[in-house]
Amino acid sequence: MSASTVTRLVIVGGGTAGWMSAAFLSSLFPARQLSLTVVESAEIGTIGVGEATIPPIQVFNKAAGIDEAAFLRATEGTYKLGIEFVDWLRPGHRYMHPFGQPGQAINGASFHAWWLRLRAAGYPHPLSDFWMSEVLARKNRFDFPSSDPRTPKSNLAYAYHFDAGLYAQFLRRIAESRGVRRIEATVANVALDGADGTVSHLDLADGRRVEGDFFIDCTGFRALLIGQALGQGYEDWSHYLPANRAVAVPSQRVAAPVPYTSATARTAGWQWRINLRHRTGNGYVYVSDLISDDEAAATLLANLDAPALDDPRFLRFTTGRRRSRHKNVLAVGLSSGFLEPLESTSIHFIQHALIKFAATFPLAKDDPVSAGIFNRIMAEELEQVRDFLVFHYHANDRVGEPLWDRARAMPLPDSLVEKMALFRARGFAIFPSQTLFQEPNWLAVMLGQGLEPQSYDPLTDGAPLEEVRGGFDAMRRTIAQVADGCHPHEAFLDDGAAVPMARARA
């Protein structure tokens, strides 16, 4: 006897979302327990963006049984230590949102609280000097986190840049080796059960029929199952995040790839640059009522650091979400909603949905209790990330530009207003209901976007100021020395042997 009556699961759509679903679930459920089928059509293109990730991708890859070195080779991947934001506060200004943390808490107070106390007394060195990930990124060096708390490498965290199309192919090979069945076909009709309103089967364009107990909708913005068949509406968040277009183009690689993503503010939006081993990924996210598609493409092409390798590709979207689990359908990827990739969260939302789906795996074809808690978890995650993205736009000094003027003046979610008030009062960055982005993430972006604390944690007043200053000076020297001793980023990418060798040193 099995705890669940779901034994046949059908994934509709391939691409990154579809093959992440297949690879992950096939690693958790043996084929004798859960048969997995992917229905995809070469006639329907995939978006193919989402080449930058954040550190939780490591959790997903490990759970899916993916070898890191093989994955990087197969996807032309590079390492990522953070995101550099250029011109967001004002033209000519830049800062980094580094991964990891600047240091451990000291005597019950956050590391940055001690730095704030020092800065109030005239300490000249920026917090970035103590953030190991940023120090390495600026030097174009890399190393893995260490389990030894005595080294600053214990505060490191990292993610990846990779070719999303190659990632999907890599995952497909893994999934098919575990028995996942692939059907090349176009879905002509989604049939519902007249008794309970669940999805009964798929009618394919070639006349075949695919039955299942549960279905995962990876059909992108079409939302063929969750939206069109089950009628789950879309909640529009464009009043908070008005960008609704993107244009993307690859360019030649002209220099050693750097271990961070770049996001540069433009008049009508922002431009990304992602360094891969074989090329550079570029794109411009923009508001269509402020710039035409042709003007956006021209702006993007004019700001490449090397010749383009293809024609620009355009993407239309509306920022928002829908309830992503209903009846016997789970929406994964763009079918569930979309937040612009400013903080590289697109692939994260895919993995987060799959991990939480596995944790609330349906006991029956329609399991409203499990679906209810799943939808709550996903809603909280999306709202927290929405607040994080909105803050990037809102906290700016780009006066006289319509997009940025509008962002400064727009009404904010109450949850974001509270976060800003707490940080402004005392540098407090531990907020209620924190999910993906924690204290170090908010700290880096709030300081970077110019939100200045008016005070600091009084717990730090217990130690003599000169003692604190001496400790910070010593840490700063140690971090610089350790960073100089790390290998150039590209050295880790020359061959797969670099990965296990470097881990052995950590």
Name the pTM for this structure: 0.94
Boundary-marking domain end, from 292, 316, 340: 316
pLDDT tens for 81-94 read 999 999 999 999 99
Average pLDDT of the segment spanning 485-504: 67
- pLDDT (tens digit, 9 = 90+) per residue, 197-253? 999 999 999 999 999 999 999 999 999 999 999 999 999 999 999 999 999 999 999
Domain assignment present for 327: yes
Q: Residue range 106-128: average pLDDT?
A: 96
What are 136-195's pLDDT values in tens digits? 999 999 999 999 999 999 999 999 999 999 999 999 999 999 999 999 999 999 999 999
Are 469 and 431 members of one domain? yes
* pLDDT exceeds 90 at position 498: no
pLDDT of 264-280, one tens digit each?
999 999 999 999 999 99
Within-domain flag for 278: yes
Buried-state track 79-113, b at ≥16 Cβ within 10 A, e below 16: bbbbbbbbbbbeeebebbbbbbbbbeeeeebbbbb
Domain boundary residue, one of 383, 402, 421: 383
Distances (CA, A) of 211 to 37, 41, 225, 416: 10, 17, 14, 44
C-alpha closest to that of 261 among 269, 270, 41, 437? 270
Considering the domain architecture, whether residues 35 and 62 belong to the same structural domain is answered as yes
Q: Are residues 131 and 205 in the same domain?
A: no
pLDDT above 70 coverage of the chain, percent: 96
- Asked which of 60-74, 228-242, 270-284, 423-437 is least confident by mean pLDDT, the reply is 423-437
Q: Which domain holds residue 476?
A: 102-152+413-499
Q: Between 414-426 and 439-448, two packed helices, what is the crossing angle to 10 degrees?
A: 80
Q: Which position has the token pair 């001496």?
A: 470
Predicted confidence at residue 505, as pLDDT, reads: 42
On whether residue 459 sits in a domain, the answer given is yes
Q: Extract the annotated binding site for FAD.
A: 14-17, 187, 334, 347
> What percent of the chain is modeled with pLDDT above 90?
92
In a domain? residue 431: yes
Are 217 and 177 contained in the same domain? yes
Q: What is the mean pLDDT of the chain?
A: 94
Phi first, then psi, for residue 504 (nearest 5°) are -65, -30
Quote the pLDDT of residue 45: 60
**Single-letter amino acid code for the residue at 133:** S
Q: At which of 316, 337, 360 does a domain end?
A: 316
pLDDT at res. 494 = 75
> What is the Cα–Cα distance from 449 to 94, expressed in whole angstroms?
9
**All residues at 6 or more sequence positions from 168 whose CB lies less than 8 Å from its CB, including other chains:** 14, 15, 16, 18, 19, 20, 46
Are 359 and 462 in the same domain? no
Q: What's the one-letter identity of residue 382?
A: L
Whether the predicted pLDDT of 502 surpasses 60: no
Whats the size of the chain, residue-wise? 506
Per-residue confidence (pLDDT) for residue 44, from 0 to 100: 65
User: In this structure, is residue 408 part of a structural domain?
Assistant: no
Q: Kindly state whether residue 506 falls inside one of the protein's structural domains.
A: no
For residues 220 and 324, membership in a common domain is answered with yes
Which residues are known to be catalytic? 80
- Please say if the pLDDT value at position 504 is more than 70: no
pLDDT (mean) for 402-424: 96
More confident residue, 406 or 497: 406
Q: Tell me, yes or no, whether 166 and 233 share the same domain.
A: yes
Residue 340: helix, strand or coil by DSSP? coil
Determine the Cα–Cα distance for residues 161 and 346; give it in Å rounded to an integer.
13
The answer to whether residues 173 and 219 belong to one domain is yes
Q: Are 225 and 197 in contact (CB under 8 A)?
A: no
Asked whether residue 495 carries a pLDDT value surpassing 60, the answer given is no
Instruction: Please say if the pLDDT value at position 341 is more than 60.
Output: yes
- On the question of pLDDT at 492 being above 90, the answer is no
Tell me, yes or no, whether 400 lies in a domain: no
How big, in percent rounded to 5, are the helix, strand and coil portions of the chain? 40, 20, 40
Asked whether the predicted pLDDT for residue 496 surpasses 60, the reply is no
With beta carbons less than 8 A apart as the criterion, state whether 317 and 247 touch.
no
Measured CA to CA in angstroms, residue 150 lies from 128, 344, 414, 478, 504 at distances of 19, 31, 40, 11, 17
Looking at the fold, whether 175 and 221 belong to one and the same domain comes out as yes
Residue 233 maps to which CATH number?
Answer: 3.50.50.60
Domain count, the chain: 3
Residues 419 and 485 both lie in one domain: yes
| 388 in any annotated domain | no
Same domain for 46 and 195, yes or no, is yes
CA distance 138 to 131: 11
Residue 192 sits in the same domain as residue 326:
yes
